[in-house]
Amino acid sequence: MFIPVIMAGGSGSRLWPLSRSAFPKQFLALGNHNSLTMLQSTLDRINGMSASEAIIISNEDHRFVVAEQLRTFGQKASIILEPAGRNTAPAIALAAMQAIKHGEDPILLVLAADHIVQNVPAFQTSIRDAHTIAKQDKLATFGIVPTAPETGYGYIKRGKKEDESAYMVDQFVEKPRADLAEKYVASGEYYWNSGCFMFKASVFLNELKKHSPEIYDCCLKATSKTTADLDFIRVDKHEFLKCPDDSVDYAVMERTDKAVVVPMDAGWSDVGSWSALWDVSEKDSAGNVIHGDAITENTEGCYIYAPSKLVASVGVKDIVVVETKDAVLVAHKDSVQQVKKIVEHLKAENRAEYRDHREVYRPWGKSDAIDGGERYKVNRITVQPGKKQSLQMHYHRAEHWVVVSGTAKVSSNGDEQIITENQSIYIPVGVSHMVENPGKMPLELIEIQSGSYLNEDDVVRLEEN
């Protein structure tokens, strides 16, 4: 028996424009089996194993996305919210301390929520091997059997054999130059560093306390004052913000004498770029990976993602084309690592395309900004069954709602009324209002905002939901 600990932080900026700060790659459906998001796939690939309820490590901004994806996947989990990102060592420490609160000492399987694994049986075999090692009070890390001299991954050099399926760790190596990577792969003694682990909670915490006592102390104080909030576990923000920003490799694994590497050959990828996603995706006879509506002519080795518009390509090779509702990326596969520079530009200019998609998820559903101008905005609003927005008012804008499908219960200045398909209601400036979905199917409505100031800071919340 073990507890899965899923790290669901990170921004995934190299997969822009699909991955955004407010909706990064771990919440997207990528890979060949793209009916599931990457977070859901991470949970799905340990199905059938003797796993307890998972612990998810997330941040404040993504909490409702995590909760909704767990709900639609039909799985419960404890969701620990980090007040701010402090790298992987503090995140795992929070999970370990939460896991042993009831006096038990479980084995933890620590996985990232944004990896792809193509061979699930081989993946599960490596987990069982690591479980045996973890029961011996060792800290197991999974070393990916390399398929190429990658320079984008860190490496683990194996030492003496621990048992039939594991080796003591001799050395952790930073991302190497190309010539060194070739030597590592040729030697057969090096593995890619997956950033995934398996160990007893107590063994990890003892090693953390020994080698990185400041992280241990900050996390202990932060978890001593946890509070429950809906599906979430909140730690003490003041104490956690004092915590050093260190990876688990630096804080523990590179310093301990208990580190063991378990080889894994399971078609693994951390999907760190569009070219990496092309590598692990199914291709047509011309080597193209196509998702969505695309017509290709004389096109080879391309990755085309077209969920909402027709994309046509003629006479191109090794190109990545990704369209979303508000942005289009065109890049050569050899240059996709530089997508991160585009994201840096967007962030520096404080552009919305850095953080949000046109379609934004909320605790009650989602909002899609269909159109907008100097004095108007048009949104398509979806409110899930049983959910409602916060009671609010605006000083500078009026709103007109038209129900497309479903039933809406609308509160306006304290008066309630039911409106249904093809009916509408007008909310003047300064009127308190709220919409609720009392039905059993999603409520779809068109919201037209009009006024002199339409930014989101003209929302006065009178009652928070």
Q: What is the average per-residue pLDDT within 327-341?
A: 95
Give the type of residue at 140. A
Task: Round to whole Å and give the CA distance between 227 and 40.
Answer: 26
How many Cα atoms within 13 Å fall on the side-chain side of residue 427?
Answer: 30
Peptide linkage before 17 cis (omega within 30 of 0)? yes
The β-bridge partners of 3 are 108
Percent of the chain with pLDDT over 90: 82
Architecture, CATH, for domain 2-269: Alpha-Beta Complex (3.90)
Average per-residue pLDDT for the chain: 93
Determine the 3-state secondary structure of 139 from DSSP. strand
Task: Round to whole Å and give the CA distance between 289 and 301.
Answer: 8
User: Which tens digits make up the pLDDT trace of 281-305?
Assistant: 999 999 999 999 999 999 999 999 9
pLDDT at 15 over 60: yes
Does residue 15 contact residue 271 with C-beta atoms inside 8 Å?
A: yes
Q: Is 253 left (phi over 0), alpha (psi -120 to 50) or beta?
A: alpha
Q: What is the pLDDT of residue 152?
A: 87
Total-model pTM = 0.86
User: Which tens digits make up the pLDDT trace of 240-258?
Assistant: 999 999 999 999 999 999 9
What's the token pair of residue 182? Answer: 């070739």
Task: Round to whole Å and give the CA distance between 452 and 109.
Answer: 53
Within the chain, all domains assigned CATH 3.90.550.10 are found at: 2-269
Give the type of residue at 83. P
- State the DSSP string of 211-273: H-HHHHHHHHHHHTT-EEETTEEE--HHHHTTS----HIIIIITT-S-EEEEEE-S-EE---S
Q: What is the pLDDT of residue 120?
A: 95
pLDDT at 34 over 80: no
Of the two residues 462 and 351, the one the predictor is more confident about is: 351
Give the other-Cβ count within 10 Å of 459's Cβ: 12
Within the chain, all domains assigned CATH 2.60.120.10 are found at: 359-463
Burial of 157 (0-12, 13-18, 19+ CB in 10 A): middle
Pairing mode of beta strands 359-362, 365-372: antiparallel
359-463 homologous superfamily: Jelly Rolls (2.60.120.10)
| pLDDT confidence tier of residue 457, bands split at 50, 70 and 90 | confident
Percent of the chain with pLDDT over 70: 99
User: Which tens digits make up the pLDDT trace of 218-232?
Assistant: 999 999 988 887 779
Q: What is the average per-residue pLDDT within 372-376?
A: 92
| pLDDT confidence tier of residue 22, bands split at 50, 70 and 90 | confident
Q: Which range among 78-82, 157-161, 180-184, 226-230 shows the weakest confidence by mean pLDDT?
A: 226-230
| pLDDT confidence tier of residue 102, bands split at 50, 70 and 90 | confident
The β-bridge partners of 155 are 173, 192
Query: Of 8, 20, 42, 434, which is closest to residue 269 (Cα–Cα)?
Result: 42
Distances (CA, A) of 327 to 17, 58, 77, 82, 356: 6, 26, 34, 30, 11
Distances (CA, A) of 6 to 67, 88, 153, 458: 13, 11, 20, 37
Q: What is the pLDDT of residue 455?
A: 87
